[in-house]
Amino acid sequence: MNIEAVKTQFRALKMSTAAKELDEVAAKHKAAVSLHWISELLEREIDTRKEHGLQKRIERAAFPELRTLEEFDWRFNPKIDKEKIEELAKLEFIHNNRIGLFLGKPGTGKTHLALAIGLLAVKAGLRVYCTSAKNLAYEITLARAKNNLDVLFKKILSSNLWIVDNWGVVSMGREIAEEVFDLFDRRKYNSAMILTSNRDLKEWSEVFPDPVLANATIDRMFDRAEIVIFEGKSYRLKGRIELPEFRVTKTARKEEAKI
């Protein structure tokens, strides 16, 4: 076993002194020929630390469930832009603090693909924070009541990727809407985002108490966003009655064309 390889393993474990002193200790004990077992132990330690780190990041992300791209049935809804999803799955948009907007009717795979990209990010060593729009409003309300809004904001904005599922499900009062605007405004300097929504774009303003706040927040959502339209059948309603097709308005198509 090469001593330099063992030194590399020590450094990977942040054991700089051991790496520095290895030559002297090995020479003193003439133990260079017996480094194989040390290397194997170190490799196991490295693997264990990596696995523990991954599990901690998964717990921190608070995914409602774990999903992967491999599980996704692209043939069920072939209209979904697979190329755009695969590009997002490369995670470059995260490093550039950009947004992925997944728009379409329920059951077409928006949440599945958002969670799958989130899991890829976690496996790549990135921090992810996942929540639903309803839960976000609840968390903000609770944090305001406990006077620890800064703690919540730090938790969200310290993430490399922020996933907000089911945007537009609940309307917001002014106080909550103002905090959401603040979060979206600060996000562009701190983290990337994936946001999913079943509602048509022209209905998004109804989430907010006044049009000025609505327009300002929505403007920040579409700043450097990658829009993916989810059209087609519902996975959840497979074999049952179908919902009407999601309306892809001119507004959505125009926003998509701008990117």
Domain ranges of the chain: 3-58, 62-258
Tens of pLDDT, residue by residue over 93-129, are 999 999 999 999 888 899 999 999 999 999 999 999 9
Structure letter (DSSP) for residue 207:
G
Selected residue with higher pLDDT from 259 and 215: 215
With bands split at pLDDT 50, 70 and 90, how would you rate the model's confidence at 259?
very low
Selected residue with higher pLDDT from 193 and 236: 193
Per-residue CA distances from 178 to 7, 47, 209, 212 (Å): 52, 44, 10, 11
Residue range 133-139: average pLDDT?
95
The predicted pLDDT at position 258 comes to 47
Residue range 209-229: average pLDDT?
87
Structure letter (DSSP) for residue 105:
S
With bands split at pLDDT 50, 70 and 90, how would you rate the model's confidence at 241?
very low
d(CA 196, CA 53): 28
Please report, rounded to a whole number, the percentage of residues in the chain having pLDDT higher than 70. Answer: 84
Tens of pLDDT, residue by residue over 11-62, are 888 877 777 777 777 776 665 556 675 776 677 777 888 898 999 999 999 9
Which of 49, 88, 81, 103 has its CA nearest to residue 218?
103
Report the CATH number of the 62-258 domain. 3.40.50.300
| Helical segments of the chain, H only | 3-12, 16-29, 35-61, 82-88, 92-95, 110-123, 133-145, 149-157, 174-187, 211-221, 250-258
